[in-house]
Structure 1
Amino acid sequence: MYRLVRDRSGQSTTIGVALMLAIAAIGVTAVVALGGTALTDSQTSVDIQRTEHAMTLLDSRGAMAALGESESQEVTLSGSGDGSYRVASDSGWIRVVHKNFTDPTPSEEVIFNRSLGEVRYTRDDAVVAYQGGGVWRTQDNGTVMISPPEFHYRDQTLTMPLVRVDGSGSASGRVTAEVTPLATGTDVQRIFPNETASTADGPGAPYDDAGDTSYDNPVTNGTVVVTVHSEHYRGWATYFTERTDGFLSVDHANRTASIELRTLAGAPGAFDMPLVGESLETPSVARQHNVSQFELQLAPDSSNANAFNQLHWSMYYQGTDGQQFEIHFAGQGRCDSATADGFTKGSTELSVSVYYRHNSSAPSEEWERVLSDPHVQTRPVHVDCSTGAPRLDADLTSSFDMEYTDIDIQGSDNKWHFGNEIKDQDVPDELTFDQHADDPGDDYDEGSDSEELGFLVNHYFSRLGPDFQLTVDAGPGGSQNRVSEEASTGVLMYDTIDGEEFIQFLHITENEVRVELNG
C-alpha cells in the first residue's frame, strides 16, 4: 500500500515571495520618507543661505541709502512660498546712556533711546533679519552674525551710525525691497557730539542734571553703556565681545545685551586741595610707573609762628579689596623770624611716612624719613618760613630718600588714618618689589635700606590703579586745624592707561530708512 503525501513546496514559495514584497514595501516607504525629509531640510538650508546673501546685499544697499550715499536702492530678495518677508519698525530697540557723568554724584543721561526696526525672513524656526545695519540668523536658541552692524570702535572712539528701519507690510516668494533714506546729506540727525541741540528732559542735549548746554567730546567721568534689546541679542553680545574689551552683560529673560565702556579721564593736573574727608579722583592711572609729577603746597590755617606745630596731615586710600595706602606728614616746631634761617633751632622736626598694605592678610610695607632741619630749602620736602606765611612744600616724585622701617607712631595712633594697623604690624625683615616691569627686583632689608620717594609713589600708584582716589585726613584735636585746605594746592600728572575698555570720543548719528516690500 502506498501512502499519499501532499506536496507543500508551492505554498512555501508563495509565502516567501509575499514576505519579500512586504519588506521591500516597508523599505521603499522608509527611503521615500527619509529622503523626503532630507530633501526638505536641504531645500530649507539652500533657501536660508540664499536669503542670507540677499539680506547681506540689502545691508550693503541699505547702508548706502542710510548714510546718504544714495537716494534710493532696490534689492531682489530670494525666497520660497514656504517662507515670508516682513518689515517691522517697532522690532527691538537700542539705548545709549552716560552714567555717573557728575561722579561721584550718581547721575544718568539717556543720550539715545529708539526702536531699531528690521526686515525679517521667517521659514520654519529660522529667522534671517536685517537690523541695526547688520544681518543676523536666529535659530535653535542661538544667533549667528552674518554681516556686522555699522558700529566701529578704535582708539577709544565709538562711532555709531544707528541705522533704523521704518515701514510695514509682508510678502512671500520672489520679493523686491525698495530702500529710501528718510534724511539725506546734512539732514542726517546728529546725536553726539551736538553743540546746537536743546531739548526738554529726556534723550538729547543738554545733560539733564548738569550745566552743560551740549554734548561735547571728549566724554569724561563715569561710563557709557550701549544696550540692545532684540530677538537676536545673542548675536549682538557676540559682536560686542569681539569688537571691544568693555564689560559685557547679557539678560536672557529680557533679551538684552549691554556693553559698558569707562571714560578715559586724565590726570587731575593742577588741583585745589580737597577738604578733610573729601577726595582727589585719580582715574585711569597706567600701571607701569608713569607718575611724572606729584607736588603739594600745604598752607597753614594762619600765618602765626606756631603754624604746623603738632601737625598731622595725610592723603589715604581704602580699597574695597582691602588695599590701604597713606602718605603722612607730622611736624613739631615753629617759625622764628629772629633766627637766621627763620626756624627755631633744636626743637623742630618734620617726618614723612608712606604706608601700604595689599590686603588684610598681607604684611604692611612702611617707609619713613625724619628731618631735624626741615627749613633747608634745597630739600624736596621742607617747610618754608621765608615768606612770612609758612608753607610746607613736598615734591613726592623726587629723589628724597625714605627708609624701609616701622613707622614710629608716638602717642595716640589715631593721628594716622591707618594708625591702628601701623602700630599693630611689624614690617617683614625683607621686602621685594617685583610686581611691575620697572621694579628692580631688589630686596630691601628693614632698618638698613632706603628707596626714593618718587619711586615709592610710582610703585604704589601702579598697584592701586587704574582708578582710585586720595582722601584728605588730619589728626584729632588741634592738629586737625593746622592746614588750611582752602589755601592749599597740588599738581598731579601721570600717563593714563591704554586699553580698549575705555572711551574718549563718541560719535552717534541717527540714520533712518524706509523699506517697502513688493511681492
Structure 2
Amino acid sequence: MGLGDISVLWTGRDRGISSTIGVILILGIVLIGTTSIVAFGSIALEDTQRQSTLERAEQTMAQFDSRAAQVALGGEETTQRLSMGQAEGNYQVLPNNGKITITHVDYNDADDDEVIYSEPLGAVVYENGDTTLSYQGGGVWRTDGGNTQMVSPPEFHYRGSTLTLPVIRVFGSDSAAGSPTAVLKKQSMKPIYPLSGKHYGDDTAEYLNPASNGQIQITIESPYYRGWAEYFDARTETNVVTIDDANQQVTVDLITLGPQGQFNIPTKEDPLQVQGMTPGSMSDLSLTVRPEASRPQKLSSLDWSLYIDRNGRQFEVNVNGLSNGECSDSQAADISVYYSDDDGVSYHGWKAEDAIPVTCNVTTNNPELKINLMDSGIDMTYDDLSGNLAENNPNGQTKNSVSFDHFDTDPMETYNRSDLEKENLDVVIRHYLNHFAPNFQIESNAGNSGNNVGIGTSEGDDIQYDGDTVITFLHVSENNVEVELE
C-alpha cells in the first residue's frame, strides 16, 4: 500500500469523525436552545402569572375601597364581607400606618396656629414580592420598588371654595396569607369641623364656617406620601404642596379667604391681609378716619396713606389737603392715587376732582373722615402728582400712560388713559389691586408730624371681595372602621 492509499484511508476516517462531532454539536445546540427556551419561558410564565395576580389584587383592593366607603360613610351599612381572592402574597391590618394632621395656621392674624385634628390613619396592606398595595385614607396606593402611584383617589374632595374631608381610620391587627375574607365593621363617626361649641385656643371663635384668616394646612405622614403628593398637586389648583422626603411627609396649604367686614386700621406692624381675591372682585373698601386721641378736635396737616409695596410694584391711596381739619362743612380732604410697576422709576397718577368732606361724629362731635374707595361717584383725573405722598415721592419720575380694565362690563373693556382723562374711583382702585391679586397686604403711613390719623380711634368699616381658589367652607369628620381577616 502506498503513501497515497494511506492518505486516502486517513482522510476517510477524519470525515467519519467530523460527521460524528457535527451531530453531537447539533444535538448540543438543540439541547441548550431547548433548555434556554424552557428556562426563559418559565421566567416569562412566572412574570405573567405574578402580573396577573397583582392585577387581580388591584381589583380586589378597589372593591375593598368601595366596601370600606359604604361602611364608613354610608347610612345603614354597618358590616361588609369581602373575599380577598389571592393565592399568593400576604395581608396585614396596620392601625398605626400613616398619620393625618389638619392645622389652621394663623387663624387669628396673630401668628397663632390651631391643630384641628391629628390622628393615625391606619392601612390594610397586601404584599407580593417588592410590590405593595395599600388601602389608606379612602384611597388605594401601589408601591413598586419604592415608587408609589395612586390606584384610586382618597376621600379628599376639594371643589371651588369647599373642602370635604371624611377621614377614614382603619383599626385592627390581623394578618393572613392565601385567600382570606375581610370583615369590615363600622365603629364610630364624629364631626370635627364645623363643630358648634368648640373654640379655638384663645376662645376668640368657634369651629364654624366660613373659615377665614391664615390657611388650612394638611400634612400626611405615610410610606405612600409620594402618591398623596401627586394627588394633592393635581387636585388642589393653585395651592402649595411641600414634600419632606426625610420624614416621609407631604403638606398642602389651602389658602382661606381674608377677613371680610370690619377690620382694624392697618399699620406697618399689623397690615390688613387680603387673601384669595379674584381679580376685579373688590366690592367694598371703606373706613372712617379720626384724629389721635390726645387731640381729638382736629385733623390738621393731614397726610395719610394706605399703600401696598411688593416685588417692585407700589400702590398708594393718599388723603391730604386739610388746613385745620376741624369739624366743619368747609373742611374737605383730597384723594390721590399712585401706582408704579418698576419700583418707582415711572408711575401712574390720579387726582380726585371732588374732595371728601369732614363730618362730625354724632356722639363726640369730633371730626371724622369717611372714605369709601369703592365710590363710583368720585371722578378721578389722570394727572401729575406734585409734592410728596406719605409713602412715595413721584418728583422726578416719569408719568406713563395706562391701559385700564373695566371689571364691571361684559366683555371686559380695555382702553388707554392719557393726561386729563377721567375714570371713576372704584374702577381705578380695582384696576390696581388686580396687579397684586390674589394675595397681598395693605399698610398705612403718615407723611408729616401734624395731628394725624389716630390708629386706635379710626376703624375699617367694611371690606368685601370674592375668592375662587380659597378654602371658605371646611367639612371634616372622623369615620372609624375595624377590619378583621378570616
Coarse TM-score class (shorter-chain normalised): 0.7 to 0.9
Asked whether the equivalents of residues 305 and 336 of structure 1 are also in contact (C-alpha less than 8 Å), the reply is: no
Inter-partner Cα distance in structure 1 for 2:264 and 2:343: 32
Asked whether the equivalents of residues 404 and 445 of structure 1 are also in contact (C-alpha less than 8 Å), the reply is: yes
Displacement of 1:466? 2.1
Q: Which aligned pairs between 1:28-427 and structure 2 lie closer than 5 A?
A: 28-67=34-73, 69-81=76-88, 83-103=89-109, 105-183=110-188, 188-196=189-197, 205-208=198-201, 210-212=202-204, 214-245=206-237, 246-265=239-258, 267=260, 269-271=261-263, 273-274=265-266, 278-288=270-280, 290-301=281-292, 307-319=298-310, 321-334=311-324, 343=330, 350-360=333-343, 363-369=346-352, 381-384=356-359, 389-396=366-373, 397-409=375-387, 413=388, 416-419=390-393, 422-427=394-399
Sort the Cα spacing of 1:435 and 1:48 in 2 relative to 1 into closer, same or farther, 3 A: farther
Amino acid corresponding to residue 312 of structure 1 in structure 2: D
Say yes or no: does 1:24 pair with 2:30: yes
CA deviation profile, 1:450-505 (whole Å, cap 9, x unmatched): 3322221111122222232322222232x2x2333444344344431222xx1122
Amino acid corresponding to residue 69 of structure 1 in structure 2: E
Displacement of 1:301? 4.4
CA deviation profile, 1:341-385 (whole Å, cap 9, x unmatched): 964xxxx874321111124276211222476xx5xxxxxx22347
Inter-partner Cα distance in structure 2 for 1:342 and 1:75: 81
RMSD: 2.9
Displacement of 1:20? 0.3
TM-score by length of 2: 0.88
Displacement of 1:26? 1.3
Q: Name the SS of the counterpart of 1:508 in structure 2.
A: strand
Task: Indicate the residue corresponding to 1:444 in structure 2.
Answer: 417
Sort the Cα spacing of 1:389 and 1:444 in 2 relative to 1 into closer, same or farther, 3 A: same
Sort the Cα spacing of 1:361 and 1:12 in 2 relative to 1 into closer, same or farther, 3 A: farther
CA deviation profile, 1:216-252 (whole Å, cap 9, x unmatched): 2221111111111222222212222333213222222
Percent identity for Structure 1 against Structure 2: 35
Inter-partner Cα distance in structure 1 for 2:210 and 2:360: 43
Displacement of 1:15? 0.7
Displacement of 1:64? 2.2
CA deviation profile, 1:390-410 (whole Å, cap 9, x unmatched): 43344432332323222111x
Q: Name the SS of the counterpart of 2:346 in structure 1.
A: coil
Inter-partner Cα distance in structure 1 for 2:172 and 2:140: 18
Amino acid corresponding to residue 162 of structure 2 in structure 1: T
Say yes or no: does 1:506 pair with 2:474: yes
Q: Which runs of 5+ in 1 are unaligned?
A: 197-204, 375-380
Asked whether the equivalents of residues 196 and 206 of structure 2 are also in contact (C-alpha less than 8 Å), the reply is: yes
Asked whether the equivalents of residues 285 and 465 of structure 1 are also in contact (C-alpha less than 8 Å), the reply is: yes
Asked whether the equivalents of residues 382 and 394 of structure 1 are also in contact (C-alpha less than 8 Å), the reply is: no
Amino acid corresponding to residue 65 of structure 2 in structure 1: D
Inter-partner Cα distance in structure 2 for 1:142 and 1:302: 64
Asked whether the equivalents of residues 275 and 486 of structure 1 are also in contact (C-alpha less than 8 Å), the reply is: no
Q: Which runs of 5+ in 2 are unaligned?
A: none
Sort the Cα spacing of 1:270 and 1:225 in 2 relative to 1 into closer, same or farther, 3 A: closer
Q: Name the SS of the counterpart of 1:503 in structure 2.
A: coil
Sort the Cα spacing of 1:369 and 1:194 in 2 relative to 1 into closer, same or farther, 3 A: closer
Asked whether the equivalents of residues 359 and 369 of structure 2 are also in contact (C-alpha less than 8 Å), the reply is: yes
Displacement of 1:28? 1.1
Task: Indicate the residue corresponding to 1:202 in structure 2.
Answer: none
Inter-partner Cα distance in structure 2 for 1:274 and 1:264: 17
Q: Name the SS of the counterpart of 1:130 in structure 2.
A: strand
Inter-partner Cα distance in structure 2 for 1:211 and 1:222: 17
Asked whether the equivalents of residues 290 and 299 of structure 2 are also in contact (C-alpha less than 8 Å), the reply is: no
1:431 equivalent among 402, 406, 412: 402
Task: Indicate the residue corresponding to 2:484 in structure 1.
Answer: 516
Asked whether the equivalents of residues 314 and 416 of structure 1 are also in contact (C-alpha less than 8 Å), the reply is: yes
